[in-house]
Amino acid sequence: MSAPVLAPPAISIRGLRKSFADHQVLRGVDLDVAPGSITALLGSNGAGKTTVVRILATLLRADAGSAEVLGHDVTTAAGQVRESISLTGQFTAVDDILSGRENLVLMAKLRHLPDPGAVADDLLSRFSLTEAGGRKVSTFSGGMRRRLDIAMSLVGDPAVIFLDEPTTGLDPAARIEVWSTIEDLAGRGTTVLLTTQYLQEAEQLADRIAILHEGSILVEGTLAELRALLPPATVTYVEKQPSLEEIFFALTGRPAGHGKGES
């Protein structure tokens, strides 16, 4: 019986280095991301997460090392990489004056897609924004704006999407809305590289977690593999108190208005 053939990684990074003046940000990063998976690049502010993403998105050139996206080198085949990816940054890139639908139609036109209106309507439906689609984005809540931002990133169906700290500044309900959106992306086969400084976010979403610290990957693996690095937990019996999250949603309800055009 022959061994199964493993698919090549969607993202492959080897020995990536980058400095700004005398400050060495990346010190030899190695990482593989499997197709259709969510990999979290977890690290504190200044760890180098955004620098990695900007290099992969061809917005920044590395000083040394190599990186490939879907087999395309980010330096020598930047055009092919850009055709295969999308990037959602830390701050939403939507036009407040336009409606949600108009933002999506504009993006579809910029990508020269044949039926921009149909593309916009499909994405509004996928991201539970149909009822709010005709409203100006300036009236959207934070969670709705971020969902629209991610929807715009998916115009043209990119195979790989980079999400750079996508829930920064969002309240707990909006964060859960975005988590659901990200899980849906991977469920549809999109490869997701997610940068975050929130441990719970990485634990909730990621198939694999890479901890980036001071420009280097300290460890990478599944959550179970990372847990196995520490001594086994001791069993103690304590009275369980409700978490702050449980209190919050008990008082306010589940993430209210998801898909109902809340503001």
Q: What is the pLDDT of residue 142?
A: 85
Q: Is residue 5 part of a domain?
A: no
Q: Is residue 258 part of a domain?
A: no
Q: Is residue 261 part of a domain?
A: no
What tens digit of pLDDT does each residue of 119-137 get?
999 999 988 899 999 999 9
Q: What is the pLDDT of residue 263?
A: 43
- Indicate if the pLDDT at residue 176 is higher than 70: yes
Q: What is the pLDDT of residue 220?
A: 93
Band of pLDDT at residue 85, cut at 50, 70 and 90: very high
- Indicate if the pLDDT at residue 74 is higher than 90: yes
Band of pLDDT at residue 261, cut at 50, 70 and 90: very low
Q: What is the pLDDT of residue 173?
A: 80
Q: How far apart are CA 155 and CA 116, in angstroms?
A: 9
Band of pLDDT at residue 143, cut at 50, 70 and 90: confident
- Nearest 5°: the CA angle 85, 87, 54 is 95
Domain count, the chain: 1
Q: Model's pTM, two decimal places?
A: 0.82
Q: Is residue 170 part of a domain?
A: yes
Considering the chain, what is the average pLDDT of its residues?
87
What tens digit of pLDDT does each residue of 186-226 get?
888 899 999 998 888 899 999 999 999 889 999 999 988 88
Q: Is residue 116 part of a domain?
A: yes
Q: Is residue 257 part of a domain?
A: no
Q: Is residue 1 part of a domain?
A: no
Give every strand in the sheet of 191-196, ordered side by side.
Answer: 85-88, 160-164, 191-196, 38-42, 208-213, 216-221
What tens digit of pLDDT does each residue of 87-119 get?
988 777 889 999 999 999 999 999 899 999 999
Band of pLDDT at residue 64, cut at 50, 70 and 90: very high
What tens digit of pLDDT does each residue of 149-159 get?
888 888 888 99
Q: What is the pLDDT of residue 260?
A: 43
Q: What is the pLDDT of residue 185?
A: 83
Which own/partner contact pairs does 232-240 have at CB distance under 8 Å and 24+ positions apart?
Answer: none
Range of the domain at 182: 11-252
Mean pLDDT over 50-64 rounds to: 96
Q: What is the pLDDT of residue 134?
A: 94
Q: Tell me which of 180 and 169 has the higher pLDDT.
A: 180
CATH number of the structural domain spanning residue 57 = 3.40.50.300
Mean pLDDT over 18-26 rounds to: 94
Q: What is the pLDDT of residue 248?
A: 65
- Indicate if the pLDDT at residue 38 is higher than 50: yes
Q: Is residue 241 part of a domain?
A: yes
Per-residue CA distances from 213 to 29, 46, 149, 203 (Å):
10, 9, 28, 17
